Structure 1
Amino acid sequence: MKKGFMPLALLSLWIAGCAHGTPPRGWSVTGSTPDHYEVGTQPGNLHSGDVNAYIRSTRPGKGFGTLMQTINADGYRNQRIRLTGHLKTENADWAGLWMRIDGANRRIAGFDNMEDRGPRGNTDWRSYSIVLDVPSDSLDIAFGFLLHGQGEVLADDFKLEAVGKDVPLTGSAPPSLPTQPANMSFSP
């Protein structure tokens, strides 16, 4: 390979990586349109000497970008867990914490993305929480924070912990599906 030459495949990966910044160690970038967002860390403004993670929209659109991680559910099975974090938004369509519990056969056993109660517009720092049950057959737990549409969200002070059953759940229950097909002849 010539000195100073970067193969096209490596160059395109590098450019794609630059398009959305560098995620904090242990976190990854995903979403429906991750290339529409810039992510990274910056000096914090919640606590002196702290660091905040951020997601910023870089172009118009209605998708979402997220910083996330996935962990093995072994240490949390048969428990109720709470994800807590501080968020601050600027001109955000909407933002929020999110968490998903994946069960056997990748069945979603619990999910919450705060779509109905996440911060919108300009908000100051506030603590938010998601609480879900982790069934005995759970395989992994995915969690993070997201920005849907335009704007910016800052995040700080995340914590994942087991809590008592007295702490109310926030997520939606898995859908209850019928056991038999219905109206296969499409009659009114």
Structure 2
Amino acid sequence: MHSFLDSKHMAKALRQALAERGQEISHSDALELVARQYGFANWNMLAARIEAAQLAPLELPPGWHVAGHTNEGNYRLGIDPKAPGTALIESRPDRDQAIDRAAGETAVLMQSVLADPYRGSRLRLTAELRTEAAETATLWMRVDPAEGRYLHFDNLLQRPGGPLAGTLGWTERQIVLDVPETAATIHYGFFLRGSGKAWARRFALDPVGVDVATTEPGPRYLSRPTNLDFGGEQPAA
């Protein structure tokens, strides 16, 4: 089955087929006809989409890796070749419809370090993010034990003004988590959910004092049973 990436071959085949029927058209006219078949107003717009789809993979920054669940067929992740010192995650324009938004598909660039130097301390992750037509972009950080469920985690999604969306300039974000003595590893990075582009730079991971509050969302418990008959009683503080 052909895709729009085969447009030039399709235009050539179309031109040959019409010539066999005594209808001569130029190669440029054939390209225009193929573009319209794929729903584009003209060949220039289709050519731009083809160029975007054929972009080479980005180079990963040393020490960083792509999270295993990331579908690299839908995204590019790595160093922005136009901005040294800046990491980029972007959805591929030709794969926008393939992104599984119902499942909250994300592309994640991350780093993992041993917790040994940080055990018993409180850590602050800081970075700057920038977005372009992004559905959701944010920092995240997780503290894991050697086995079992994570110890602490935050991705800012439950915090008002935490994640970025749309098109925004450089914006600093922070996450603060405790690193218990039972911690084995620490993982952090940034991700793009859905389509668009997200850039990150100036990551820093620093110990802070206990006077700096953690950002991890706490459990939401009521002080007593409330509204058990669904009559509209407001929850007790």
TM-score when normalising by structure 1: 0.75
Q: Give how far 1:21 is off.
A: 3.0
What does 1:24-63 correspond to in 2, within 5 Å?
A: 24-30=61-67, 32-35=69-72, 36-42=74-80, 43-44=82-83, 50-58=84-92, 59-60=95-96, 61=99, 62=101, 63=105
Letter in 1 for 2:77: V
What does 1:72-151 correspond to in 2, within 5 Å?
A: 72-116=114-158, 117-151=162-196
Contact 1:110 1:173 (8 Å CA) reproduced: no
Secondary structure of the residue aligned to 1:144 is strand
Letter in 2 for 1:38: R
- May I ask how many residue pairs the two structures share in their alignment? 154
Question: CA RMSD for the aligned pairs?
Answer: 2.1
Q: Give how far 1:97 is off.
A: 0.6
**C-alpha distance after superposition, 1:66-103 (max 9, x if no partner):** 11011000000011000000000011111111100002
Tell me which of 148, 157, 164 is aligned to 2:202. 157
Q: Percent identity?
A: 40
Contact 2:115 2:184 (8 Å CA) reproduced: yes
Range moving further from structure 2, 35-44 or 109-118? 35-44
What's 1:64 paired with? 106
What's 1:13 paired with? none
Kindly indicate whether structure 1 or structure 2 has the higher relative contact order, using CA contacts under 8 Å at least 6 residues apart.
Answer: 1
Contact 2:58 2:79 (8 Å CA) reproduced: no
Following TM superposition, the consecutive aligned residue runs of length 4 or more in structure 1 with deviations greater than 6 angstroms are: none
Question: For structure 1, which runs of at least 5 residues remain unmatched after alignment?
Answer: 1-17, 45-49, 177-188
Higher strand content, 1 or 2 = 1
CA distance in 2, matches of 1:165, 1:72: 21
Question: For structure 2, which runs of at least 5 residues remain unmatched after alignment?
Answer: 1-54, 222-237
Higher helix content, 1 or 2 = 2
Q: Give how far 1:51 is off.
A: 2.1
